[in-house]
Structure 1
C-alpha cells in the first residue's frame, strides 16, 4: 500500500479507506443442511472444485462505501494527481 488512492466513485476521498484482506477457505457443504462436510487444505481440492483466483485485497471507500479492486483506486489517483 505504498501508492496513493483516490475513490473512483465519489472522486474526492484520498484519505479514508478500509482495506479488506481476503482469506478464502475451500469447503464442501452438505446440500440438505448446509453444514461443512469437508474443509480442503491448500493444493488438495478435488477435480470439481476450482481454486479461488480473486483478489487478496479489496478497498472500501470510507466516504461513500464503494468496494473495489485496489488497482481501481491506484489508477484513479494516478490519472488525477494532486495539484
Structure 2
C-alpha cells in the first residue's frame, strides 16, 4: 500500500482512495430458505467447498467510485508519470 496510485478509470485522482478490507466467511446455506445452516473454519471446510483465494483488500477511487484490485491503480500510476514533482 505504499506505492503511488492513479485511478485507471478517471485518470486524474492520485490522492483520494478508500481501502476496502475483505473478510471471507465460509458458510453453507439452505437452498430453499437461504438460511445459514453451517459456518466453517478455514481448516474445516467440506471437501467440495473451495476456499477464498482473492485479495485481502481492494481500492476504491475517492473521485469516481471505481473499485478494483490495488495492482490496477499501481500499474496506471507507473505507466503515467506524475509531472508535479
In the superposition, the TM-score normalised over structure 2's length comes to 0.93
Count of matched residue positions in the alignment of Structure 1 and Structure 2: 83
Structure 2: where are the runs of 5+ without partners? none
Q: What RMSD in Å do the two structures reach over aligned CA positions? A: 0.7
Distance 2:55 2:78 in 1: 20
Does residue 1:66 correspond to 2:66, yes or no?
yes
Task: Return 5+ residue gaps in structure 1 as ranges.
Answer: none
Equivalence for 1:51: 51
| Aligned-residue offset at 1:34 | 0.8
Matched, 1:41 2:41: yes
Aligned structure 1 segments of 4 or more residues deviating by more than 6 angstroms: none
Q: What corresponds to 1:9 in structure 2?
A: 9
Q: Output the CA distance in 2 between the equivalents of 1:43 and 1:79.
A: 40
